[in-house]
Chain A
Amino acid sequence: MTDAARTEDLLRQLAPQVLGAVTRRYRDFADAEDATQEALVAATTSWPTEGMPDNPLAWLIRVASRRMVQHYRRDDARRRREDLAASWSIAGPETASGRDDSLILIFMCCHPSLTPASAIPLTLRAVGGLTTREIAAAFLVPEATMAQRISRAKAKVKDSDEPFALPPSDHRTERLRSVLHVLYLIFTEGYASSGGPDLARTELSDEAIRLARGLHDALPDNPEVTGLLALMLLTDARRTARTGAGGELVPLADQERTRWDRALIREGVAMITEAIKQGRMGEYQVQAAIAAIHDQAARYEDTDWSQILPLYRLLERMTGNPMVTLNLAVATAMVDGPSAGLAVLEGLESEDRLGDHHRLHSVRAHLLELDGDTESAIAELRAAAARTTNIREQQYLTTKAARLATEPLDA
């Protein structure tokens, strides 16, 4: 690791602790968040030349606090709050640990009043310690646009008028659900675009894993938190194998499994095994269990579909998500044959819960191909390609349709 990378790593670790301390001292999350961001940016420019301070955390808190006071001074209308802030600043020691602060912050940033599009950048900045520029690059929007998104998100959090503390215990499960959802979306955002020109985005997966590890450290006994972390690790283990040299998608069945990350798989499998033992099953644990079964098969043909099938049934009951039903159709086909899988799809179509979704067409194409009906499979692949909004998926579907069309006898 280079010095710059080490500094960046340290800053990201310290960011929530700085923000926690400053928020507690000045009682203004939105302004404290700006001040913390400015302190982090100041550190990246001054530390490399002036050397790292003996106590980096204290340095950052001091700089951020100074920024807070400067902001208040600049703004006459805030004069009275400045006096108030000054009295708070000597009001007492920060009692909570950095770990508690991170947890409080992540609950705040993933507030249910925010849409995921707002909660994600706010979480990355306030808890993850990323700069606005880095977040903007990851989401491929200009810095000014991302800055506006973050400040609007903070205004919403402010409006919710929540004290800087953990949510009350009767709301915590519900609130945790939002947190897990936001972390999962950060992960998929990065994972979806690994490789090629989207490299800035892959960092998001690492960031999501780091945030999930932090959450797991704070809540080690929550099996869904463990399940989410395990799911990320077990999925991330396949990252390098899921895209080809040109950035094209390589589906699970065709991935070179020797390129999977064994250490991540071992860690993820151990984690999900422990979580499940607690007997409080949740959707992330089920998904992690499915990922673990895939990851433990030496070849695609060795996949233990008889274990996967009941897990998808369970997941479908838990979530009612039609996308899960699509996966259930594939698992059913692998256990009971393609026509059984196609029957599951027919059920889904008759309920019309997915509309004309591209994934419905691509799964049907897959099952028709298994069933030997190449001509119908090609038509379905083309239908899926015309409906997807994902460029890699569009390329994959178009290429696959062309391959089936030109090599019908090999199928």
Chain B
Amino acid sequence: MRFMLLQNYGEVGSGCVPMDQWTPGDIKAHIDFQIALNAELLESGELIDAQGLAHPEQAKFVTYDGVGAPVITDGPYPESKELLAGFRFIDVESLDRAIEIAARASAAPGPNGVPIQDHIEVRQVLSAPDPEM
């Protein structure tokens, strides 16, 4: 079963300040944690891809009605907290396993190593149909 584990820029459960206000040591510990988790998932044969996205400041929204020129909206956006920060794309045996990995990611270390309690959105990716249809 394939799942996207999505993280956005919204408030985290621990209520800690944004990462640009952390100490360099805390930032490094956080990044090391993410890299180690990805390495572990690659080793277990479950990781398809993991990416962080550029900051919402650089996001563009594109809307097009099919005629004329598309409308392109630049930041900054008042709702940037709802924008995606990064994702893990995994292929696992069960929903339980996806939740287990999401829980690990949620407890990534923040300032002073305190788990940040990130809100991880777990979404199953649609697959091809079964043959009995």
A102 at the interface (CB under 8 A from B): no
Q: Is B127's CB under 8 angstroms from A152's CB? A: no
Q: Is B48's CB under 8 angstroms from A390's CB? A: no
A144 at the interface (CB under 8 A from B): yes
Q: Give Cα A144 to B131, complex, Å.
A: 29
Contact with A along B60-95 (1 / 0, CB 8 A): 000000000000000000000000000000010100
Q: Is A152's CB under 8 angstroms from B44's CB? A: yes
Q: Give Cα A393 to B127, complex, Å.
A: 9
Q: Is B91's CB under 8 angstroms from A391's CB? A: no
Q: Give Cα A149 to B131, complex, Å.
A: 25
Find chain A residues with CB under 8 A from B47 CB.
142, 145
A70 at the interface (CB under 8 A from B): no
B132 at the interface (CB under 8 A from A): yes
Contact with A along B1-17 (1 / 0, CB 8 A): 11000000000000000
Q: Is A141's CB under 8 angstroms from B127's CB? A: no
Number of residues on chain B facing chain A (CB within 8 A):
21
Known pairs A141-B48, A145-B47, A389-B124; A323 contacts B133 (CB<8 A): no
Q: Is A390's CB under 8 angstroms from B130's CB? A: yes
Residue B126 contacts which of A145, A198, A323, A391 (CB distance < 8 angstroms)?
A391
Output the nearest chain A residue to B124 by Cβ-Cβ distance. A389
Known pairs A145-B45, A148-B42, A148-B43; A327 contacts B133 (CB<8 A): no
Q: Is B128's CB under 8 angstroms from A198's CB? A: yes
Contacting B at CB under 8 A, from A102-124, are 115, 117
A392 at the interface (CB under 8 A from B): yes
Question: Which of B2, B47, B126, B128: most chain A CB closer than 10 A?
Answer: B128
User: Distance (Å) between the CB of B36 and the closest chain A CB?
Assistant: 16
B129 at the interface (CB under 8 A from A): yes
User: Distance (Å) between the CB of B14 and the closest chain A CB?
Assistant: 31
User: Distance (Å) between the CB of A248 and the closest chain B CB?
Assistant: 10
Q: Is A148's CB under 8 angstroms from B44's CB? A: yes
Q: Give Cα A150 to B124, complex, Å.
A: 24
Describe B's contact surface by its main secondary structure: loop
User: Distance (Å) between the CB of B98 and the closest chain A CB?
Assistant: 12
Output the nearest chain A residue to B1 by Cβ-Cβ distance. A389
A-B contact count (CB 8 A): 69
Contact with B along A180-210 (1 / 0, CB 8 A): 0000000010011100001001000000000
Find chain B residues with CB under 8 A from A148 CB.
42-45
Q: Is B131's CB under 8 angstroms from A390's CB? A: no
Q: Is A141's CB under 8 angstroms from B129's CB? A: no
Find chain A residues with CB under 8 A from B127 CB.
192, 389-391
Find chain A residues with CB under 8 A from B133 CB.
249, 251, 390, 393, 396
Q: Give Cα A148 to B2, complex, Å.
A: 17
Contact with A along B91-133 (1 / 0, CB 8 A): 1010000000000000000000000000000001011111111
B49 at the interface (CB under 8 A from A): yes
B46 at the interface (CB under 8 A from A): yes
Contacting B at CB under 8 A, from A127-182, are 139-142, 144-146, 148-150, 152
The bracket for how many chain A residues form the interface is 20 to 34
Q: Is B46's CB under 8 angstroms from A192's CB? A: no
Q: Is A192's CB under 8 angstroms from B130's CB? A: yes
Residue A390 contacts which of B44, B45, B49, B128 (CB distance < 8 angstroms)?
B128
Find chain B residues with CB under 8 A from A188 CB.
130-131
Q: Give Cα A145 to B40, complex, Å.
A: 11
Find chain A residues with CB under 8 A from B1 CB.
389
Q: Is A142's CB under 8 angstroms from B48's CB? A: yes
Known pairs A115-B93, A389-B124; A145 contacts B48 (CB<8 A): yes
Output the nearest chain B residue to A197 by Cβ-Cβ distance. B128
Q: Is B48's CB under 8 angstroms from A192's CB? A: no
Q: Is A392's CB under 8 angstroms from B48's CB? A: no
A394 at the interface (CB under 8 A from B): yes
Q: Give Cα A142 to B43, complex, Å.
A: 12
Find chain A residues with CB under 8 A from B48 CB.
140-142, 145
Q: List 26 A-B contacts (CB under 8 A).
A: A139-B91, A140-B48, A141-B91, A142-B48, A145-B42, A145-B47, A145-B48, A148-B42, A148-B44, A148-B45, A150-B45, A192-B128, A193-B129, A198-B128, A249-B129, A249-B133, A389-B127, A390-B126, A390-B130, A390-B133, A391-B126, A391-B127, A392-B129, A393-B130, A394-B126, A396-B129
9 residue pairs, one from A and one from B, having the closest CB atoms: A149-B45, A193-B128, A390-B129, A391-B126, A148-B45, A393-B129, A392-B129, A192-B128, A191-B131
